[in-house]
Amino acid sequence: MSGSTPYIQVLDIEQTLTELNEMVSRLRQERDDLEIALTTAVEHGDAIEEQLETANRQLQNEVRERRTIEKQLRDLVATITQKSRDLEVVLQTITEHADQIDLHWLQRYIESETSARQDPLTGLANRRMLDEAMEREWSRARRQGQPLAMLMCDVDHFKPYNDRYGHQAGDECLCRLAELFQGMLHREGDLVARYGGEEFVVLLPNTDETGALRVAQGIQDALRNLDLGHEDTPLGRLTLSIGLAALVPDHDDRSTLLAEVDRRLYLAKQQGRDRIVHAADNNKIREDLNDSGSRADQGNPTRP
Amino acid sequence: MHCFSGEGYKIELDDTSNTVRMSGALRLGGLSEYAPISELLENALDGREALIIDLSALEFLNSSGIATLSKFVITARNRNDCRLAIQGSNAIAWQGKSLNNLKRLMPALELNFD
């Protein structure tokens, strides 16, 4: 280069300057770019930081809110659990209470049903229960072709008994008779009812006239052994007149049996009381308890 | 003494002995008809340290009645400002089981039977 002309040297310098200027310009541009980039990065970082800060605050608020809600929910669950437990206990209380009340009413119902079918003085069946038993046994006897027997028993001279000994003694006497009747009946289906004041009806399913007669005789024997004093009677003791009938039902009119024993009871009274009338055909007294020789041989009542 | 009665029953609040006495047979129809009794019972808790509910002469109480009594016991338990005692009778069949169940609702409830 030392051999070149000054003109050329000037040109080189100018070229160099131009290049330097370009370089400076480029560097400035790069510096400006870098400053912008740096500013952008810083501002972006700030924005991100602020955004993160906001997000963090929101998150913390959310956490707080969730914790509050969680507590509220826990309280709610506790309340609901308590209420549910209370409801379960209340339900159980009401259910058990209702059961107790049902039982209470059932007992009342049973008592009412029993008293509706029971004679309050003697505890025997009353006419209503007799009617129901009669309806049931009549149908059964008719269906099965079996005999059905009935005794109608009336205490002899009972009004004079009441007059002499008083109504309380009369009631006690009826209770003793009730026990006696019950003691004589052992078969399921046998029923004794207090039919009226001093009138008793004995219903004997699946029993013919012979069997019913044995029962009637047994009753008379037991009464004689009981020896309830009654000074206004010829024998000085309480006696019974009994109308007895047995039949195999072949029709619906079950009142015929009751009418027949009633008629025979009337005959027993007419014939002098203290006896059993059981013959439907001849109205004769078939058994006179005054003629007691044959009775003693009857022994315990047995029926087919 | 606050008192009201109906057919076959009587309820009285004796302020001197802090006792509500219920007697007879309570068979009102549904919770709405029991509302006055419920109100009397809850008002009886106000300003008292202790209250006795005497059921020893209450022969009969229907299901709505026991529900009312149960709700009252829950209210007394939640208020927790008044000791509650119930006096029952061994001679009345329903009281045994039903009153013991009330104690399950309120373990602090004092139950006495004569």
pLDDT attached to residue A285:
42
Number of domains, chain B = 1
Query: Which chain B residue is nearest to residue A101, measuring alpha carbons?
Result: B94
Q: Is A157 helix (H, G, I), strand (E, B) or coil?
A: coil
Which domain, by its residues, includes B109? 2-113
Residue tagged active-site, from A19, A53, A179, A198: A198
pLDDT attached to residue B29:
87
Active site residue A198: yes
Q: Could you say which of A86, A97, A104 has the minimum Cβ distance to residue B66? A: A97
CATH code assigned at B92: 3.30.750.24
Chain B contact set for A89 (CB, 8 A): 70, 101, 104-105
- Does any CB of chain B come closer than 8 Å to the CB of residue A296? no
Task: Give the start-to-end residue ranges of the domains of chain A.
Answer: 1-116, 127-297
A155-173 mean pLDDT: 94
CA A156/CA A269 separation, integer angstroms: 8
Q: Could you say which of A93, A101, A103 has the minimum Cβ distance to residue B62? A: A101
Tens of pLDDT, residue by residue over A120-146, are 999 999 999 999 999 999 999 999 999
- Does any CB of chain A come closer than 8 Å to the CB of residue B93? yes
More confident residue, A69 or B4: A69
- Does any CB of chain A come closer than 8 Å to the CB of residue B25? no
CA A47/CA A52 separation, integer angstroms: 8
Specify the range with the lowest mean pLDDT, choosing from A280-284, A293-297, B11-15, B27-31: A293-297
In contact, B19 and B86? CB cutoff 8 Å: no
Mutate to test the interface with B, among A82, A84, A90 (most CBs of B within 10 A): A90
- Does any CB of chain A come closer than 8 Å to the CB of residue B97? yes
What's domain A127-297's superfamily in CATH? Reverse transcriptase/Diguanylate cyclase domain (3.30.70.270)
Chain B contact set for A90 (CB, 8 A): 67, 70-71, 74, 105
Give residue A168's identity as a one-letter amino acid code. Answer: Q
CA A169/CA A36 separation, integer angstroms: 133
Bridge partner residues of A5 (DSSP) = none
Query: Which chain B residue is nearest to residue A82, measuring alpha carbons?
Result: B105
- Does any CB of chain A come closer than 8 Å to the CB of residue B55? no
Compute CA distances A239 → A94, A210, A225, whole Å: 58, 22, 11
Tens of pLDDT, residue by residue over A189-239, are 999 999 999 999 999 999 999 999 999 999 999 999 999 999 988 889 999
Compute CA distances A216 → A102, A292, B57, whole Å: 44, 14, 52
Contacts 24+ apart (CB under 8 A), A2-6: none
The most confident of the ranges A88-92, A215-219, B5-9, B28-32 is A215-219
Give residue A278's identity as a one-letter amino acid code. Answer: H
The residue with tokens 């078969």 is A187
Mutate to test the interface with A, among B34, B80, B97 (most CBs of A within 10 A): B97
The residue with tokens 């501002």 is A43
pLDDT attached to residue A136:
94
Residue A69 structure tokens:
């809600």
Q: Please, what is the Cα angle at A46 between A40 and A51, to 5 degrees? A: 120
Mutate to test the interface with B, among A81, A83, A84, A89 (most CBs of B within 10 A): A89
Average pLDDT, chain A: 87
Q: Could you say which of A93, A103, A104 has the minimum Cβ distance to residue B66? A: A93
> Strand A199-205 and strand A191-194: pairing?
antiparallel
Q: How confident is the model at residue B93 (pLDDT cuts 50, 70, 90)?
A: confident
In contact, A191 and A203? CB cutoff 8 Å: yes
Give the contacts of A161 (CB within 8 A, at least 6 positions apart). Answer: A155, A169, A170, A173, A230, A232, A238
pLDDT attached to residue A301:
31
Tens of pLDDT, residue by residue over A255-299, are 999 999 999 999 999 999 999 998 744 444 444 333 433 332 332
Q: Please, what is the Cα angle at A281 between A221 and A144, to 5 degrees? A: 80
C-alpha neighbours within 13 Å on the C-beta side of residue A220: 32
In contact, A263 and A243? CB cutoff 8 Å: yes
Tens of pLDDT, residue by residue over A182-195, are 999 989 899 999 99
φ, ψ of residue A287 in degrees (nearest 5): -140, 115
